[in-house]
Amino acid sequence: MAARPRLFLLPSLLALLPFLSSLAAAAGCRKNTTLAGFEAELAMVQHQLRGVVRVLDGCSFSVSEFDMLAGSTHVRWWGATGDGFHNLTLGSPISDQTLSRTFRNESFTVRLADNATWDQIAVLAIWDPVTASDFGHVVLGAPGLDQSEAPAPSPDLSPAPSPSSSSVERRSKRRIHLQPTMFDNCLILSPRYRLRWTLDPESDSIDIGLEAAIGSQYYMAFGWAAPGSASPSMIHADVAVAGFTEDATPFVEDYFITEYSECLQNKDDKFKGVCPDTMYEGGDPVGLVNNTKLVYGHRKDGVSFIRYARPLVSGDNKYDVPVSKTGNMTVIWAWGLMRSPDTLLPHYLPQNHGGPRLTTFGYFDLDVSRRVNDCLGPLDAEDKEDQDLIIADGKKPLVVSSGPALHYPNPPSPSKVLYINKKEAPLLRVERGVPVTFSVQAGHDVALYITSDFLGGNATSRNMTEVIYAGGPEAEGVPANPTEVVWSVDRNTPDLVYYHSLYEQKMGWKVQVVDGGISDMYNSSVFLDDQQVTLFWTLSDGSISIAARGEKKSGYLAIAFGIGMINSYAYVGWVDDEGKSHVNTYWIDGKDAMNVHTTSENLTYERCRSENGIITFEFTRPLSPSCSGRVECKNIIDPTTPLKVVWAMGSRWSEDHLSERNMHSVTSGRPVRVFLLRGSAEAEQDLLPVLAVHGFMMFVAWGILFPGGILAARYLKHVKGDGWYQLHVYLQYSGIAIVLLGVLFAAAELRGFYISSVHVKFGVTAMILACAQPINAYVRPKRPENGEVASSKRIIWEYVHVIIGRSAIIVGIAALFSGMKHLGDRYDSENVEGLALALMLWVLSGGLLVMYLEYKQFKRRDENSVRGSWVLGNSEEDDSVDLLRPDRTVMKPESHPSGRMELQLEPLGR
User: For a pLDDT cut of 70, what percent of the chain falls above it?
Assistant: 82
pLDDT digits (tens, 9 = 90+) for 493-519: 999 999 999 999 999 999 999 877 777
pLDDT digits (tens, 9 = 90+) for 477-490: 999 999 999 999 88
Angle, CA of 614, 619 and 621, to the nearest 5°? 150
The Cα 289–Cα 255 span in angstroms is 9
- The distance in angstroms from the start CA to the end CA of the chain is 147
pLDDT digits (tens, 9 = 90+) for 388-397: 889 898 788 9
The Cα 687–Cα 684 span in angstroms is 8
The listed range with the strongest mean pLDDT (740-754, 773-787, 846-860) is 846-860
**CATH 1.20.120.1770 occupies which residues in the chain?**
687-781+792-851
The Cα 308–Cα 206 span in angstroms is 9
Give the DSSP H/E element, type plus range, for residue 295.
strand 293-300
For residue 395, the model assigns a pLDDT of 80
Contacts with 66 (C-beta within 8 Å, 6 or more apart), sequence order: 50, 51, 52, 103, 105, 106, 107, 108
Whether residue 100 is predicted with pLDDT greater than 50 in this model: the reply is: yes
The Cα 416–Cα 405 span in angstroms is 5
Are 281 and 289 within 8 A, CB to CB?
yes
Whether residue 727 is predicted with pLDDT greater than 60 in this model: the reply is: yes
The Cα 607–Cα 573 span in angstroms is 8
The Cα 355–Cα 189 span in angstroms is 14
Whether residue 906 is predicted with pLDDT greater than 70 in this model: the reply is: no
Lowest mean pLDDT, pick from 309-323, 357-371, 646-660: 646-660
Distance, C-alpha 35 to centroid of its chain:
51
In 3D, which of 67, 64, 26, 34 has the Cα closest to residue 50?
67
The Cα 624–Cα 546 span in angstroms is 15
Give the DSSP H/E element, type plus range, for residue 548.
strand 543-550
Lowest mean pLDDT, pick from 268-277, 322-331, 790-799: 790-799
SS3 of residue 139 by DSSP: strand
Backbone angles phi, psi at 605, to 5 degrees: 55, 50
Work out the average pLDDT over 777-784: 76
Check residue 479 and report its DSSP letter.
T
Are 348 and 243 within 8 A, CB to CB?
yes
For residue 660, the model assigns a pLDDT of 62
For residue 122, the model assigns a pLDDT of 92
Confidence of residue 294 (pLDDT cuts 50, 70, 90): very high
Work out the average pLDDT over 759-780: 82
Are 595 and 589 within 8 A, CB to CB?
yes
In 3D, which of 548, 528, 524, 520 has the Cα closest to residue 537?
524
Whether residue 168 is predicted with pLDDT greater than 60 in this model: the reply is: no
* Angle between helix 688-700 and helix 792-827 axes, rounded to 10 deg: 150
For residue 218, the model assigns a pLDDT of 92
The Cα 516–Cα 522 span in angstroms is 11
For residue 749, the model assigns a pLDDT of 62
Are 111 and 95 within 8 A, CB to CB?
yes
Architecture of the structural domain at 185-367: Sandwich (2.60)
Whether residue 297 is predicted with pLDDT greater than 90 in this model: the reply is: yes
User: For a pLDDT cut of 90, what percent of the chain falls above it?
Assistant: 41
Q: How many Å is the Cα radius of gyration of the chain?
A: 42
For the chain, the average pLDDT equals: 82
Whether residue 574 is predicted with pLDDT greater than 50 in this model: the reply is: yes
For residue 24, the model assigns a pLDDT of 46
Residue 867 C-beta-side C-alpha neighbours within 13 Å: 16
Work out the average pLDDT over 718-730: 77
Contacts with 858 (C-beta within 8 Å, 6 or more apart), sequence order: none
Looking at residue 6, its amino acid is R
Pick the CATH number of 687-781+792-851 from 3.40.50.970, 1.20.120.1770, 3.10.350.10, 1.10.645.10: 1.20.120.1770
Q: Whole-model pTM?
A: 0.63
Q: What is the side-by-side order of every strand in the sheet holding 193-200?
A: 185-190, 193-200, 205-212, 303-311, 293-300
Whether residue 75 is predicted with pLDDT greater than 80 in this model: the reply is: yes
The Cα 650–Cα 454 span in angstroms is 35
Confidence of residue 174 (pLDDT cuts 50, 70, 90): low
Instruction: Name the class of domain 522-682.
Output: mainly beta
SS3 of residue 291 by DSSP: coil
Cα 372 to Cα 105, 155, 185, 250, distances in angstroms: 13, 22, 5, 26
Work out the average pLDDT over 97-115: 93
Are 739 and 732 within 8 A, CB to CB?
no
Within 206-251, where are the H helices?
none
What is the torsional sign of CA 115, 120, 126, 128? negative
Give the DSSP H/E element, type plus range, for residue 77.
strand 76-80
The Cα 138–Cα 125 span in angstroms is 6
Backbone angles phi, psi at 460, to 5 degrees: -65, -25
Contacts with 23 (C-beta within 8 Å, 6 or more apart), sequence order: none
Whether residue 864 is predicted with pLDDT greater than 60 in this model: the reply is: no
Backbone angles phi, psi at 649, to 5 degrees: -135, 155
The neighbouring-strand residues paired with 350 are 338
CB atoms within 10 A of CB 411: 17
The Cα 847–Cα 855 span in angstroms is 12
Are 902 and 893 within 8 A, CB to CB?
yes
In 3D, which of 64, 4, 56 has the Cα closest to residue 25?
56
Whether residue 909 is predicted with pLDDT greater than 50 in this model: the reply is: no
For residue 567, the model assigns a pLDDT of 87
Residue count (the chain) = 910
The bridge status of strand 496-501 relative to strand 448-451 is antiparallel
In 3D, which of 146, 152, 128 has the Cα closest to residue 40?
152
For residue 874, the model assigns a pLDDT of 39
The Cα 193–Cα 334 span in angstroms is 9
The Cα 520–Cα 499 span in angstroms is 23
pLDDT digits (tens, 9 = 90+) for 420-430: 999 999 999 99
For residue 546, the model assigns a pLDDT of 94
Angle, CA of 419, 422 and 423, to the nearest 5°? 65
Are 338 and 243 within 8 A, CB to CB?
yes
Work out the average pLDDT over 654-676: 77
Give the DSSP H/E element, type plus range, for residue 219.
strand 218-224
Are 541 and 589 within 8 A, CB to CB?
no
For residue 680, the model assigns a pLDDT of 86
Whether residue 22 is predicted with pLDDT greater than 70 in this model: the reply is: no
The per-residue b/e assignment along 816-827, b for 16 or more CB within 10 angstroms, e otherwise, is bebbbebbbeeb
The listed range with the strongest mean pLDDT (279-283, 291-295, 354-358, 837-841) is 291-295
Are 865 and 875 within 8 A, CB to CB?
yes
**CATH 2.60.40.420 occupies which residues in the chain?**
389-514
Check residue 373 and report its DSSP letter.
B
Are 138 and 124 within 8 A, CB to CB?
yes
Residue 94 C-beta-side C-alpha neighbours within 13 Å: 27
Looking at residue 302, its amino acid is G
Work out the average pLDDT over 224-246: 87
In 3D, which of 430, 575, 436 has the Cα closest to residue 511?
430
Lowest mean pLDDT, pick from 204-218, 449-463, 557-571, 824-838: 824-838
pLDDT digits (tens, 9 = 90+) for 666-710: 888 788 989 999 888 877 655 556 677 888 888 888 888 888 888
In 3D, which of 792, 790, 739, 801 has the Cα closest to residue 764?
739
Looking at residue 524, its amino acid is S
**CATH 2.60.40.1210 occupies which residues in the chain?**
185-367, 522-682
Looking at residue 209, its amino acid is G
Whether residue 575 is predicted with pLDDT greater than 70 in this model: the reply is: yes
Backbone angles phi, psi at 188, to 5 degrees: -85, 120
Residue 541 C-beta-side C-alpha neighbours within 13 Å: 0
Contacts with 889 (C-beta within 8 Å, 6 or more apart), sequence order: none
Backbone angles phi, psi at 679, to 5 degrees: 70, 35
For residue 295, the model assigns a pLDDT of 96
The neighbouring-strand residues paired with 206 are 199, 310
SS3 of residue 578 by DSSP: coil
Architecture of the structural domain at 389-514: Sandwich (2.60)
Phi/psi region, residue 578 (left: phi>0; alpha: psi -120 to 50; beta: rest), is alpha
